[in-house]
Amino acid sequence: MINKMFDLTGKVALVTGGSKGLGLSMARALALAGADIVINSRNGDELDSAMAKILEGTDRKGFSLVADLFKRKDTISLAQEALEAMGRVDIIINNAGTNVPAPVDEIKDDDWDRLVELNLSAPMVLVRELAAQMKERRWGRIINISSIFGLCTKEARGVYSATKAGLIGITRTMAQDLGPWNITANAIAPGPISTPLTDRLVQGELREYFDSMVLLDRWGKPEDLMGPALLLASDAGSYITGSTLLVDGGWMTR
């Protein structure tokens, strides 16, 4: 009974930015639960090795393609090509995102526009493009990867916080708009997770600050997102919608 609740056999999951870090770990969790997987990356060289890691030891199918979600046309193409290749998309994990730290009076227009496009607009576009076929089957799961900085913030994190807070806001609207078709929409707000990106951006005194905010005396690992993603993607989380799940090592209790 318990295993069946988490079983994703017959489902197709699209995980943006699934070639590394959090995205790869979440895609791996869904593949182990029985889902076929679609991932994208801007770097085609890493897609084959990433998909091999995701599908290792399973009999699932995978489809990967180069798509730069800073570009609206690539985001639309990703949705269309995923449907053409797999016939359906049941689960969307909007994971792709980045950060360009800058004080609010030094934010560059190009940085603002690019982060809004990747962190906020691309998730909306993918859901807009893929919702209709979910409605037809009356089943769907949308998981938007936000951040604790969508709920709190710190100096020089204005663009990132704005996009991640916006992602939480539109997640609630997605839940309201799509709920009548048995489509759930939730956000995950990770705290400090050790990836090449965060290890590069968070150093020195800032690293010490992040360390001081975590109750568990360690940074998270990408694998710490596997269980939460599987919960929200499966029937085990079928009555959870419009929520933001903190995976932050206790940060938000400070």
Q: Which amino acid does the sequence have at 28?
A: R
E runs forming strands in 42-114: 62-66, 91-94
SS3 content of the chain, % helix, strand, coil (to 5): 55, 15, 30
Tell me the three-class secondary structure of 223-247, residue by residue: HHHHHHHHHHHCHHHCCCCCCEEEE
Residue in 6, 160, 219, 251 annotated catalytic: 160
d(CA 130, CA 133): 6
- Give, in order, the Cα–Cα distances in Å from 219 to each of 4, 97, 198, 216: 32, 19, 11, 8
**Does the annotation count 160 as an active-site position?**
yes
Q: Residue 171 phi/psi, 5° resolution?
A: -60, -45
Tokens 């009548």: give the residue.
Answer: 180
What are the residue numbers of the active site?
Answer: 160
